[in-house]
């Protein structure tokens, strides 16, 4: 833990200095507008002091009112400066957010980092908002303190001697707690994440835990993590008390000292107005600024350091790991595109394996179809090959490399395709390091079947609105993006389920004939299996691998699947799942669904029930785009 915090103070500090140095113009603008706040702070105590000494106490109320008017003008000017400060802070914060987003996305793609989603949706936004808040409170404290201290010295140097030492002592005490607070904050977050991971493993396997009689052992392990979380929270709370002490010393003690020393100060020539002005400086400027600094930097600052450490950490893989956007070496003749050796995976430490001691070797250039009943583990297998899940035991190698280091050698196209707002060319070239030449982009679109949509949108430079696209159109864009990538292994996890059979066949043939490419398709139609060179049938513990003809002759579960598939006049094909499934769940919507006319559709929202007549041919489920 100490080493981690050292990394925070070192690596992140250096990155921060480089980041700020590259934006020195923004810092100059930020400081320039903040000077107006310094002037406002200066007038907060100086103008009332002069209003008393030279105006009201001297019998000249017009002078006193004039000085108060000057103080009011200072408030207006300071407010104008503060408004301009926000624009400068935005120019400083947004580039940081963009850089963090790019880093998280790059690591998520490169390492198949499961925490990338949390990094994008939570941690980056925490870093952005916290950094903006820290810039505001730190800047405010600095310029407010300068204005107040200059004002105290202008009124009478003796006032600075009374207020300055406790203020400096409070700030020093607070600064001394920052590093320990960062350590405790990180320890608390680590303990909280460990507890969440434990619950994530235990809760899905409660039935198996009870069946195995492992309640006491599991409860003891979870209890240890709960106790660890309690200890870290208590340690964090103890150190947080010092923030209150530093605030009392730096902000409250000067008020007490000014009041207690008032007779002595007046006896040594300090005027009544100057004393009132000093109290105004402390109560209206220094105390609020110190309060914001302590609570902002003390809590948010520690959290920012921890979050930044997680966001900007270097890849855990070895230096030979190439990013996905870089071309990977072509598979050699003696290096299979994919190999699995005794791979076992289960969702939970005591759950039954979904994949149990699976062995598979896939030569480069092979077209493999994976078929089987719904929920049997086909998508789980894809996630393992993609590095999104880790096997309980066994090894997975892609193009001869361990799966954790082979991110550049594989590309995954999921069922729900991701399309972002931008030009069509930007979407299609997202997995390439440089812009894709237009002839290559158009050739890929023609091969996959995207050309009609490309023309309808207005060409590669057309803007894409993901909401305006249908599910099938989004899949075609994602398929073409994957086709243009340098990854030799393409994994289609039901990535054509929203396409009609002709479009599906065209896309699959494009990937199967891609130079140097290997294709693995999680099939939802038996027609996909008939096109493949090899077929992997998953049926629980009964798993078979071979050609379509071999499996029809020698593996009864596959023969049953093929027997349930019949072409229909419309040219559509039935799913690779018996329609009279015991759970009445159909893999995809298609014509001729048997039963009483009401079915739960696996590709629709969870639990959605649709009438038989609502499932239109050629369109998305339920008429949704």
pLDDT at residue 309, as a whole number: 65
Q: Kindly tell me if the per-residue pLDDT of 415 is higher than 70.
A: yes
pLDDT at residue 298, as a whole number: 62
Q: What is the percentage of the chain residues whose pLDDT exceeds 70?
A: 76
Residue whose C-alpha is closest to residue 380's, from 361, 364, 396: 396
Please state, in angstroms and as integers, the Cα–Cα distance from residue 202 to each residue in 210, 214, 271, 348, 352, following that order.
11, 11, 71, 7, 13
**pLDDT tens-digit series, residues 320-331:** 333 333 444 444
**pLDDT tens-digit series, residues 523-556:** 877 788 888 888 988 877 778 888 888 888 888 8
pLDDT at residue 584, as a whole number: 36
Q: What is the mean pLDDT of residues 175-195?
A: 77
At the top level of CATH, the class of 2-311 is mainly alpha
Please state, in angstroms and as integers, the Cα–Cα distance from residue 459 to each residue in 38, 426, 462, 463, following that order.
55, 12, 6, 9
Range 549-579 burial, b when 16+ CB lie within 10 A, else e: eebbeebebbeebbebbeeeeeebbbbbbbb
C-alpha to C-alpha distance for 435 and 437, rounded to whole angstroms: 6
pTM of the entire predicted model: 0.47
**pLDDT tens-digit series, residues 579-604:** 333 333 333 333 333 333 333 333 33
Cβ contacts of residue 430 below 8 Å, gap of 6+? Answer: 420, 481
Residue with more model confidence, 395 or 187: 395
Q: Kindly tell me if the per-residue pLDDT of 617 is higher than 50.
A: no
Strand blocks (E) in 363-508: 367-371, 393-398, 401-402, 410-413, 422-423, 463-464, 489-493
pLDDT at residue 306, as a whole number: 61
pLDDT at residue 399, as a whole number: 87
**pLDDT tens-digit series, residues 135-176:** 888 888 889 899 999 999 999 999 999 999 999 999 998 888
- Of 155-159, 234-238, 347-351, which range is least confident? 347-351
Name the CA dihedral angle for 422, 121, 108, 446, rounded to a multiple of 10 degrees: -30
Q: Are 382 and 360 in contact (CB under 8 A)?
A: no
At the top level of CATH, the class of 338-557 is alpha beta
pLDDT at residue 105, as a whole number: 65
- Of 59-63, 342-346, 399-403, 558-562, which range is least confident? 558-562
Q: Kindly tell me if the per-residue pLDDT of 118 is higher than 80.
A: no
Q: Are 290 and 249 in contact (CB under 8 A)?
A: no
pLDDT band at 302 (very low <50, low <70, confident <90, very high): low
Domain boundaries, the chain: 2-311, 338-557, 579-625
pLDDT at residue 162, as a whole number: 92
Which residue reads 């072509």 in tokens?
A: 330
pLDDT band at 280 (very low <50, low <70, confident <90, very high): very high
Q: Is 268 helix (H, G, I), strand (E, B) or coil?
A: coil
pLDDT at residue 121, as a whole number: 55
Q: Are 93 and 132 in contact (CB under 8 A)?
A: yes
pLDDT at residue 27, as a whole number: 85
pLDDT band at 334 (very low <50, low <70, confident <90, very high): low
pLDDT band at 577 (very low <50, low <70, confident <90, very high): very low
């Amino acid at each position: 833990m100490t080493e981690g915090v050292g990394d925070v103070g070192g690596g992140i500090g250096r990155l921060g200095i480089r980041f700020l140095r590259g934006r020195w113009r923004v810092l100059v603008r930020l400081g320039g507008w903040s000077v107006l706040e310094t002037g406002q702070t200066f007038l907060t105590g100086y103008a009332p002091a002069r209003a008393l000494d030279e105006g009201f106490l001297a019998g000249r109320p017009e002078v006193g009112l004039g000085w108060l008017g000057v103080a009011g003008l200072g408030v207006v000017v300071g407010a104008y400066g503060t408004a301009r400060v926000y624009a400068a802070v935005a120019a400083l914060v947004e580039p940081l957010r963009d850089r963090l987003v790019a880093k998280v996305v790059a690591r998520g793609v490169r390492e198949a980092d499961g925490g990338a989603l949390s990094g994008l949706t939570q941690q980056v936004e925490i870093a952005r908002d916290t950094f903006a808040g820290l810039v505001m409170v730190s800047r405010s404290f600095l310029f407010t303190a300068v204005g107040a201290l200059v004002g105290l010295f202008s009124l009478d140097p003796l006032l600075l001697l009374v207020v300055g030492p406790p203020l400096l002592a409070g700030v020093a005490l607070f600064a001394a707690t920052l590093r320990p607070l960062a350590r405790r904050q990180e320890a608390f977050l680590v303990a909280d994440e460990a507890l969440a991971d434990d619950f994530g493993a235990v809760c899905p396997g409660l039935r198996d835990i009870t069946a195995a009689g492992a309640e006491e052992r599991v409860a003891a392990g979870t209890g240890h993590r709960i106790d660890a979380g309690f200890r870290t929270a208590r340690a964090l709370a103890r150190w947080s008390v010092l923030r209150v002490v530093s605030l009392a010393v730096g902000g409250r003690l000067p008020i007490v000292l000014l009041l207690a020393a008032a007779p002595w100060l007046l006896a040594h020539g300090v005027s009544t107005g100057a004393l009132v002005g000093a109290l105004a400086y402390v109560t209206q400027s220094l105390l609020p600024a110190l309060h914001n600094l302590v609570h902002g930097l003390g809590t948010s600052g520690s959290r920012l350091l921890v979050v930044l450490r997680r966001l900007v950490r270097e890849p855990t893989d070895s230096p030979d790991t190439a990013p996905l956007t870089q071309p990977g070496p072509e598979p050699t003749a003696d290096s299979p595109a994919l190999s699995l050796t005794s791979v076992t995976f289960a969702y939970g430490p005591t759950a039954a394996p979904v994949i149990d001691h699976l062995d598979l070797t896939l030569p480069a250039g092979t077209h493999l179809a994976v078929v089987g009943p719904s929920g049997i583990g086909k998508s789980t297998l894809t996630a393992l090959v993609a590095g999104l899940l880790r096997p309980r035991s066994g090894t997975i190698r892609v193009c001869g490399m361990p799966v954790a280091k082979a991110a550049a050698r594989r590309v995954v196209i999921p069922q729900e395709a991701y399309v972002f707002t931008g030009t069509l060319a930007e979407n299609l070239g997202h997995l390439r390091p440089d812009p894709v030449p237009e002839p290559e982009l158009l050739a890929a679109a023609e091969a996959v079947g995207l050309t009609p949509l490309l023309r309808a949108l207005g060409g590669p430079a057309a803007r894409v609105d993901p909401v305006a696209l249908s599910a099938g159109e989004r899949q075609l864009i994602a398929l073409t993006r994957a086709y243009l990538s340098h990854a030799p292994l393409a994994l289609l996890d039901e990535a054509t389920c929203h396409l009609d059979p002709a479009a599906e066949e065209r896309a699959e043939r494009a990937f199967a004939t891609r130079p140097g490419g290997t294709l693995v398709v999680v099939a939802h139609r038996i027609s996909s299996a008939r096109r493949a060179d090899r077929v992997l049938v998953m049926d629980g513990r009964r798993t078979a691998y071979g050609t379509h003809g071999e499996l029809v002759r020698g593996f009864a579960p596959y023969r049953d699947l093929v027997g349930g598939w019949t072409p229909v006049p419309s040219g559509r094909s039935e799913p690779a799942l018996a329609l009279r499934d015991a759970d009445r769940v159909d893999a995809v919507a298609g014509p001729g669904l048997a039963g009483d006319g009401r079915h739960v559709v696996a590709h629709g929202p969870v639990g959605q029930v649709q009438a038989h007549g609502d499932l239109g041919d050629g369109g998305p489920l339920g008429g949704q785009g």
